[in-house]
Amino acid sequence: MDISVIIPLYNEADSLPELTAWIERVMEENKFSYEIIFVNDGSTDNSWDIIEGLKKRNDNIHGIKFRRNYGKSPALYCGFERAKGDVVITMDADLQDSPDEIRPLYDMITKEGYDLVSGYKKKRYDPLSKTIPTKLFNATARKVSGIKNLHDFNCGLKAYRNEVVKNIEVYGDMHRYIPYLAKNAGYEKIGERVVQHRARKYGKSKFGISRFFHGYLDLMSLWFLSKFSYRPMHIFGFWGTIMFMLGFIAAIIVGGTKLWALSHCEPSRLVTDSPYFYISLTLMIMGTQLFLTGFIAELVSRTSQERNRYNISKEI
């Protein structure tokens, strides 16, 4: 099979017939063998009824129905598990992504050898309240991930080699960082294509301003896991040791100053009256806690079933 198109959706009943007809036309024009996988993320409208009707007239259409709304990442995860096409295309169900982009995205994967190609909606039809935070978010994501050539990490229109989607785990709200997940899994040939962004025709956006705040937290979590998930002692133990040593040195200085004053019969206040004593004590306690946290995390990591799971590209 050439292409699997995965479409997560939530209350998009109005757009589904038009979107499906558009995708079918593109597939027929290019003579692609294909499947369309709709993932109904707990819709409260008649989206599932529409999908069942579409399935009756086209066996290439498949549907997954969640009992409740889980989010876009779980929807993509389930779609990726079931995808059989050599190239996997993801797009949103709101008609803001154009199926006409499928052919050039497919060519970039199959002919130019990319592992992943992300769409870039250079000209957007969104309000400033959405576009400005998006620019700041993408600038931060480029800096943290090291993927300098991507301008729109969160674009729903992406293309992947099938191998890529089978070797990444999309969870929580990590769909924003699929290129970063792919890079961490060893797929570093990541490209970008400027794609058309269409104004929403039906319904309303399902995402609020809170997604940007959550996005930054997820990015920090992903950065930390990519750096230290296999060696937590390297960060906790390092900083714990630094803090403990600073506290220990400070305590020696406080105690040494007191002893020097006593040996020279000079008046001096009690060690416990000095604020530096409590600062040094706090540093040593925090350093010890960080070191023990790293030690416990290392023990947990060593018992994890994923510890020695590595992506092997070839074997002879």
Cα→Cα distances 194→80, 110, 117, 119, 128, Å: 24, 18, 10, 6, 20
Label residue 231 by pLDDT band (50, 70, 90): confident
Confidence bin at 56 (pLDDT 50/70/90): very high
pLDDT of the residue at 310: 45
The letter for the amino acid at 246 is L
Contacts of 71 (CB under 8 A, 6+ apart): 41, 172, 173
The pTM of the full predicted model, rounded to 2 decimals, is 0.73
Residue 117 has pLDDT above 90, yes or no: yes
Contact 202, 127 (CB under 8 A): no
3-state secondary structure 88-154: EEECCCCCCECHHHHHHHHHHHHCCCCCEEEEECCCCCCCHHHHHHHHHHHHHHHHHHCCCCCCCCC
- Residue count (the chain): 316
Q: What percent of the chain has pLDDT over 70?
A: 84
Q: The tokens of 136 are what?
A: 């700041």
- Report which residue type is found at 188: E
Average pLDDT over residues 99-117: 96
Q: In what order do the strands lie in the sheet with 34-40?
A: 61-65, 34-40, 3-9, 87-90, 158-161, 116-120, 190-194
Banded model confidence at residue 19, pLDDT cuts 50, 70, 90:
very high
Amino acid at 196: Q
Q: Name the pairing type of β-strands 87-90 and 3-9.
A: parallel
pLDDT of residue 38: 96
Arithmetic mean of pLDDT, 14-21: 94
Tens of pLDDT, residues 273-306: 788 888 899 999 999 998 888 888 777 766 655 5
Q: pLDDT, tens digit, for every residue of 67-105?
A: 999 889 899 999 999 999 999 999 999 898 999 999 999
Q: 3-class SS at 307?
A: coil
Output the CA–CA distances (angstroms, integers) from residue 241 to 153, 227, 250, 251, 255, in the order listed.
37, 19, 14, 15, 21
| Per-residue pLDDT tens over the stretch 21-46 | 999 999 999 999 999 999 999 999 99
pLDDT at residue number 277: 84
> Measuring CA to CA, how many Å separate 111 from each of 55, 114, 313?
31, 8, 19
